[in-house]
């Protein structure tokens, strides 16, 4: 299409650029943002009630340049946080951590902390469903791994075992969570398959 002044619209160029850029890896969303959108969908559709846990912070120093513009100058974490998300699904308490890795070969266990393992173990002991959601950013794949399988790798690392969970193990033993429009990270479907 040409404009009356003789310039071309450039629409063709934009269309071809957009086609090349339309990949899941360029969505611009982090894993936690995708999970939050899924949680919003679950709440609105009355499927589950799941929220991101706030990180406990102690504010020490605040600057008040004017009443409407307070600026936090110094703050500390009050305590180590537990996991990222918790809530209720189909009458059961669920608790999980979300992590991303750029590794092509494995998920490093250094991304998880002992207090998080202890928390998931205690929740599971009391009948809760605990798991981790891991995104392999290079492949744009997201997996749900039950805590019981995570615990095997976690405990084995202290006996000379691997300090990571192999990508091939995740592909074989974890639940792949495909990307969807409404529930972007549809972990509820995986939970149905694993626990209900």
Binding residues: 82, 84, 97, 116
| 44 φ/ψ sector (left φ>0, alpha ψ -120 to 50, else beta) | alpha
Binding residues for Mg(2+): 82, 84, 97, 116
Do the beta carbons of residue 119 and residue 147 sit within 8 Å?
Answer: no
Task: Determine the Cα–Cα distance for residues 49 and 92; give it in Å rounded to an integer.
Answer: 11
Task: Measure CA of the first residue to CA of the last residue in the chain; give whole Å.
Answer: 57
Positive or negative: CA dihedral 126, 191, 32, 150:
positive
Name the 3-class secondary structure at 9. coil
């Amino acid at each position: 299409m040409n404009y009356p002044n003789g310039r071309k619209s450039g629409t063709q160029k934009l269309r071809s650029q957009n086609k090349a850029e339309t990949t899941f890896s360029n969505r611009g969303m982090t894993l936690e943002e995708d999970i939050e959108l899924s949680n919003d969908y679950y709440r609105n559709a009355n499927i589950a009630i799941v929220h991101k846990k706030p990180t406990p912070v102690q504010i020490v120093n605040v600057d008040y340049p004017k009443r409407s513009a307070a600026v936090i100058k110094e703050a500390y974490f009050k305590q180590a946080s537990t996991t990222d998300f918790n809530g209720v699904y189909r009458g059961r308490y669920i608790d999980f951590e979300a992590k991303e890795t750029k590794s092509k070969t494995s998920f490093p266990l250094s991304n998880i902390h002992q207090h998080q393992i202890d928390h998931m173990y205690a929740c599971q002991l009391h009948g809760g469903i605990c798991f981790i959601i891991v995104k392999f950013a290079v492949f744009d794949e997201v997996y749900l791994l039950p805590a019981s399988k995570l615990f095997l790798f976690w405990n084995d690392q202290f006996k000379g075992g691997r300090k990571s969970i192999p990508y091939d193990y995740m592909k074989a033993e974890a639940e792949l969570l495909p990307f969807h429009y409404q529930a972007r990270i549809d972990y509820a479907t995986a939970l149905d398959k694993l626990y209900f």
